[in-house]
Structure 1
Amino acid sequence: MKIKQLSLNQKVLSLLIISVVMAIIFSFLFIHFLYKDLYIRSIKESLIYQGEQTAAHFHYGSLNHEIKERIFWYNVISPYEVVVVDKLDELDQFFPYKINYEDLISKEDEKQLRDGKYVMKEGYVKEFQRNIVGAIFPLGNQEELIGFIYIYVPLAEIPEVFRKGIPILVIAGALFFLFLYFGIRYFLKTIFKPLREMQAFSKEVGRGNFSKRVSITSSDEIGELAMAFNKMAQSLEQEEENKKEFLANVAHELRTPLTYIGGYSQILLDEIYHSPEELKKHLHLIQKETKRMQKLINDLMELNKLEDKNFKLTKEPIVLSQLILDSLELFQTSLKQRNIKLVMHLDDELIIYGDHSRLKQVFYNVVDNAIKYSYQNSQINISSYQDGSFAIVAIQDYGIGIPANDLNRIGERFYRTDKSRSRKTGGTGLGLSIVKEIMLLHDGKMDIKSEEGKGTLLLLSFPIVE
């Protein structure tokens, strides 16, 4: 059987009820403490004091009629009931009641009295219908006992003791609970409004709607929670937009090569060609577009791997100049084909800490871009130098450059400044995105400065090994 969970509102109300019950229990215990520990204790102390003072005046002679008259007169003017007798047996005549349904004097009490010590008597008396507190004191000297005095007083009930205080407690309690009620009501309204909004909004988020926001009416923890919720919604909305843009870009990138492949494949199936050379040309185009799709998929997988939080680099100390030279060996053919001169000024003393294969991938991508977008018969300058605690690698080409409006978007997935030219060069718009991710993993950064028609300067910054 599934147990129904309480809502937050019900939990708060339950907490309020428990608090009220605990307050009532505490008040009862506190009043009981005042009654038992303070009121009764003060009565006992007063009885003992009065009894000892009275007994101190009768330590000689006998209890004559005059002395008894004085004691009886004291009985009239004092709040206590006072009984004086010559013998213990006579107490039953003046106090013929049982305390807690037991005899007034036990054998143990009698022994204690004859030893000159007083005896406290406390308990319920049926005839009075209430508790009493009393004490029996022996009268006499060290040689003999001349009598006994019994002082007792019926105890007032709790309502009687606190007759004046109870109305004050009732009024104060009523005001307190009214204040508590309106305070909790306002508190619940303040808290649950944004929470209800978040509850409703979370359902919208579950349906894929990230456009709504929770109203922030306070700066407390609930306000901070609402702010965090709005940031989360904004992040999810951005992620959703990026996802849609990513899917649209992938679809766009795949549509053209698939169209080429489908079209030329149909030509070959229908044998609509006139010579073996034309057949070979069609097959070459199909192969080219297939490689293009393979590169796109490989770049996407590579970028996804680099963005994975669990991805780890294999870092080691690397001589930066040697890494650059090793990377440039792959471009000797491309440089010759386009008659591009490569000028290098490298600092052999610079050592960085990083993943050799990944950094080689960085230089491959940036140099490949520099060659592709340079004019023929032009020049590319590559230099490395130290700037503070960073090693800087500068790659300067003198090619088509990048429009100023596009500079801020360089490094975004699939972003290309010239889509038609990128198709000719085989670019996917992911190369610099991969470079950017690898640089971040090495605590470095990539900066680009460019002027359209004059070339591009790309700067790579790496922390130096001290």
Structure 2
Amino acid sequence: MKKIKHFSVSQKVLLLFFVSIIFSILFSFLFIHFLYKELYIRSVKERLIFEGKQTAAHFHYGSLSEDIKEKIEWYNLISPYEVIAVDQLDELHQHFPYQIDYKHLISQEDEKKLSSGQYVVKEGYVHELDRKIVGAIFPLTHEQNLIGFIYIYIPLAEIPEVFSKGIPILILFGLIFFVLIYFVITYSIHSIFRSLRTIQTIAKEISRGNFSKRVPIQTSDDIGELASAFNKMTESLEKQDERKKEFLSNVAHELRTPLTYIGGYTQILLDEAYSSKEEAKNHLLLINKETTRMQKLINDLLQLNELENKDMTLEAEPIAFSQLILDSLELFAPALKKRNISIKTDLDDEIIIMGDMNRLHQVFCNVIDNAIKYSFENGMINIALYQKEKRAVVIVRDNGIGIPKKELDRIGERFYRTDKSRSRETGGTGLGLSIVKQIVALHNGTMKIESEEGQGTSVILSFPIVE
């Protein structure tokens, strides 16, 4: 199938410009025609009727004498108008033997109007004169008696004659105007589309995976705003690309270590390179531990991907917040006892929130689990729940190893762990707080972490309450 060639945006703008010029010229001619018809012809007609009335008013004699007709001949010499005076209407055809618009000069209806003392206006094209004329026939009366008729008329000038001086000036200034407009628009198009062409070029680079280039912002108009938005988008894509590469690198790293362990110890078992059954069993336990860790990593990734899905929905219900926290704590009784860690709670039993019970249970299990793992033995964990400005605030504070200040901003990123060796011992994947962060956000909540190295960490969560 043959590909249809489309106009570029700049070509469309130029086409629009030329179409505008054509319509402007068309409008100019229509406007000139309007001036000719509505102003020139109307003014000529008004002046002619005025002259006709004035002339007719002078004939107050009993009849049209030869002397009067001579005066009319003299008037024709000095006036732009042609005046014909006759005793009878039939004589008028002898002096003006032409048709107007191919019709007789006087119709029966015209005769009736003239007989009643009214004047008749005649306007139209005369073939013999090759132009339009405007005329009027006036009845002459003396003491209520009809003594004759005056026909006064004037040939109309053509449009070029009327505007003979104005049209050349109009054309000259019109050409100058359109040339100037053409250069202004051409420059504007070049200026506008320069940024768009740059955006197009950089967009192609982005499609190839190069996010380093930016569009120079030279104006503060819509194009400048577009360039700024494009740069922000490019920066966002660059960050996402960096995060994707980091994510893939982290996944590869996280899987490489357990796979190395599993591969190495499996080979030992296959080669029977162990000294006792107990050593072989330890190798199997290590393989099982690393397999479990990989399963947890994959499950966490799938869960995080599900939480980040825009179509993710929560099964919200009213929840007694303090009871949810206490139920979560019960699961950690053995771990607390093993490390001899005390729990101190200060919970407001009347706070109710709307949320997904299972998801929020997951949040507190993760936060409490971290508090236990990173607390010193014989330490204490404080959990407080209170209401502040229509929000439920939960603070889980431990007195453990803490987090360096320079790393606080990265807490909650995928795979980020402040102590990788310790996380490996505890089975952490670096995804727990990322999952917590997403669940909290889905509940219109907030998460904040405050910590001081060697002094402990506070995880502060807030959710809207049910009033």
TM-score band (shorter)? over 0.9
**Range moving further from structure 2, 18-27 or 276-285:** 276-285
SS of corresponding position for 1:218: coil
Q: What is aligned with 2:105?
A: 104
Q: Matched residues in 1 for 2:120 and 2:293: separation?
A: 111
Aligned residues of 2:449 and 2:459 also touching (Cα < 8 A): yes
Q: Matched residues in 2 for 1:92 and 1:454: separation?
A: 124
TM-score (norm 1): 0.95
State the AA in 2 paired with 1:261: I
State the AA in 1 paired with 2:65: N
Q: Matched residues in 2 for 1:345 and 1:132: separation?
A: 107
2:71 pairs with 1:70 = yes
Aligned residues of 2:62 and 2:142 also touching (Cα < 8 A): no
TM-score (norm 2): 0.94
Structure 1 residues 65 and 438, CA gap change in structure 2 (3 angstroms): same
2:194 pairs with 1:193 = yes
Q: What is aligned with 1:113?
A: 114
Residue 281 of structure 1 deviates from its aligned partner by: 1.2
Structure 1 residues 404 and 140, CA gap change in structure 2 (3 angstroms): closer
Q: Matched residues in 1 for 2:37 and 2:455: separation?
A: 99
**Range moving further from structure 2, 414-423 or 439-448:** 439-448
SS of corresponding position for 2:332: helix
Residue 97 of structure 1 deviates from its aligned partner by: 2.7
SS of corresponding position for 2:191: helix
Q: Matched residues in 2 for 1:453 and 1:154: separation?
A: 110
Q: Matched residues in 2 for 1:157 and 1:288: separation?
A: 105
Q: What is aligned with 2:367?
A: 366
Q: What is aligned with 1:436?
A: 437
SS of corresponding position for 1:133: strand
- What whole-Å deviation, never above 9, does each CA across 1:89-139 have from its counterpart, x for those lacking one? 322332233333343334443344334332222222233222111112222
Residue 141 of structure 1 deviates from its aligned partner by: 4.4
Q: What is aligned with 1:22?
A: 23
Q: Matched residues in 2 for 1:281 and 1:107: separation?
A: 131
State the AA in 2 paired with 1:129: D
Equivalence map 1:63-462=2 (5 Å)? 63-141=64-142, 144-462=145-463
State the AA in 2 paired with 1:98: Q
**Range moving further from structure 2, 259-268 or 384-393:** 384-393
Q: Matched residues in 2 for 1:349 and 1:106: separation?
A: 104
Q: Matched residues in 1 for 2:276 and 2:257: separation?
A: 26
State the AA in 2 paired with 1:395: V
- What whole-Å deviation, never above 9, does each CA across 1:168-194 have from its counterpart, x for those lacking one? 312331232133122212221221111
Residue 2 of structure 1 deviates from its aligned partner by: 4.8
Q: Matched residues in 2 for 1:388 and 1:124: separation?
A: 90
**Range moving further from structure 2, 360-369 or 382-391:** 382-391
- What whole-Å deviation, never above 9, does each CA across 1:189-212 have from its counterpart, x for those lacking one? 221111111111221222222221
State the AA in 2 paired with 1:48: I
- What whole-Å deviation, never above 9, does each CA across 1:314-349 have from its counterpart, x for those lacking one? 222222221111001111111222222223232323
Q: Matched residues in 2 for 1:316 and 1:30: separation?
A: 73
Q: What is aligned with 2:34?
A: 33
Calculate the aligned-residue CA RMSD, in Å: 1.9
Structure 1 residues 104 and 388, CA gap change in structure 2 (3 angstroms): closer
State the AA in 2 paired with 1:160: E
Residue 266 of structure 1 deviates from its aligned partner by: 1.6
- What whole-Å deviation, never above 9, does each CA across 1:229-278 have from its counterpart, x for those lacking one? 11111111111111111111111100001111111122222222232212
Aligned residues of 2:341 and 2:378 also touching (Cα < 8 A): yes
Structure 2 unpaired stretches of 5+: none
